[in-house]
Amino acid sequence: MRYPEGHKDKVRTSIVKNAARALRRDGLAGVSIPALMKKAGLTHGGFYAHFKNRDELVAAAVLAAADETGSTVLSRDAGDVQATVNAYVSKQHVDYPERGCVLAALGGEGRHQTAPVRRAFALAARGFVRLVEQKLHPDSAPGTLSEEALKLSAQMIGAIVLARLVDDEQLAEKLLQAVRSQEN
């Protein structure tokens, strides 16, 4: 049976999208290839038609998740800096890691991964800071990263990580509000 042109790319994209969601929700060690392939409607053996190994899939999923955050919350069309901060540093982001930023969901695990996955996290982190820089200073030269962008990036990601960890809704909201209420 012959598949239509583009079929393999669509299947790969579906696998990566499902993996990006599952990894953010369950952690890097919490997702199995058989479970991902089943969710995509494929067999475990079909995995190797799309990826050399699990690390290749995880790296692709990290980058896809980062692109999702970049094209939604951090996009040029997402409003001004304050609107971006408010959208990112939100209870909804805390409650639904599978739809949120891969750095806030998995950044702490990234440094313990293989080289290809660490590279994907590094690209995602640099991209995040660059997008924050563009929000703050739309006319800044490419490659320029202000101290302001570095601080705000760390505060945004840190607030989400801490709000997920404190196990106290009131304290979590105070953490988020502390970042949302500062002048940007």
pLDDT in tens, 15-25: 999 999 999 99
**So what's the pLDDT on residue 184?**
63
pLDDT in tens, 88-122: 999 999 999 999 999 999 999 999 999 999 999 99
Where does the pLDDT of residue 173 fall: very low under 50, low under 70, confident under 90, or very high at 90 and above?
Answer: very high
Q: What is the dihedral of CA 58, 33, 94, 117, to 10 degrees?
A: -10
> Where along the chain do its domains lie?
53-180
What percent of the chain stands above pLDDT 90?
Answer: 73
CA–CA distance, 148 with 137 (Å, rounded to integer) = 10
* Stated length of the chain: 184
CA–CA distance, 110 with 19 (Å, rounded to integer) = 15
Element (H, E) at 22: helix 7-26
Give me the CATH topology for the region 53-180. Tetracycline Repressor; domain 2 (1.10.357)
Q: Which of 102, 117, 119 is nearest to 20 (CA)?
A: 102
**So what's the pLDDT on residue 175?**
97
